[in-house]
Amino acid sequence: GQQVMQIPQYQHVQEGEDFTTYCNSSTTLSNIQWYKQRPGGHPVFLIQLVKSGEVKKQKRLTFQFGEAKKNSSLHITATQTTDVGTYFCAGPDSGGSNYKLTFGKGTLLTVNP
Amino acid sequence: ETGVTQTPRHLVMGMTNKKSLKCEQHLGHNAMYWYKQSAKKPLELMFVYNFKEQTENNSVPSRFSPECPNSSHLFLHLHTLQPEDSALYLCASSQDGLADYEQYFGPGTRLTVT
């Protein structure tokens, strides 16, 4: 079945440092979504990328979708303590279901003030 | 963020109990989902309902029984659970059940099975 893998699993940074998490799919994706889950919270939708090579920015967050539409990355510039949480990528299942979103295991980001 | 609400927020139940989780969405969406999130596993999709019809059952044991009376409400009926079923159960909704649409999650129910 389809796999969505994220690396690293954990990342600890000093406040002000940059952070990047990578997402790789075993199959080509029609789109990829990113979510953030704060500690003790629930996943919150951040963004969706659809086009090959697409780059989108949200303030200090930059999202990229690979040319082959099999990988994606999230880069945070100058992290702040408010960036703490787990970042998940998710893509539509390619195993025959149009209704299933497959989530990666997530990258837990901690920020030392 | 009160678009999707879940009750109760915390639940402790014995293995012989029967309980139900409730989810309500106020976003006018047509699809609703149940996910299970445990400590060391990614978000696991359990069920998908699209326009009140179940479109996905991700090989979930029969001790979990979903019910979707309308597009705004979703229930998860629980009976004879096992300790390994302890987890955070998240409800979500989206405009449509196709996986192309972003999902809005509720705060979750933290379930402990004793």
Can you give the pLDDT at residue A93?
Answer: 78
Smallest Cβ–Cβ distance between A42 and the set B48, B99, B108 belongs to B108
Smallest Cβ–Cβ distance between A104 and the set B1, B31, B42 belongs to B42
B90 pLDDT exceeds 70? yes
- Of A69-78, A93-102, B71-80, the poorest mean pLDDT is in A93-102
Query: Is residue A52 within 8 Å of residue A31, measured between CB atoms?
Result: no
Smallest Cα distance from B41 to chain A, Å: 7
Smallest Cβ–Cβ distance between A106 and the set B42, B102, B106 belongs to B42
Residues 6+ apart with CB under 8 A from A42: B90, B105, B106, B107, B108
Residue B56: is it exposed, middle or buried by C-beta count within 10 angstroms (0-12/13-18/19+)? Answer: buried
B23-32 average pLDDT score? 96
Higher local confidence (pLDDT), B92 or A2 = B92
A79 pLDDT exceeds 90? yes
Average pLDDT, chain B: 93
B12 pLDDT exceeds 90? yes
Query: What DSSP letter does each residue of B78-108 carry, written as one string?
Result: EES--GGG-EEEEEEEESSSSTTS--EE---
A101-112 average pLDDT score? 94
The percentage of chain A sitting over the pLDDT mark of 90, rounded to a whole number, equals: 85
B4-32 average pLDDT score? 96
From chain A, the residues in CB contact with B49 under 8 A are: none
8-state DSSP, A85: E
- Is A93 close to B99, i.e. CB distance below 8 A? yes
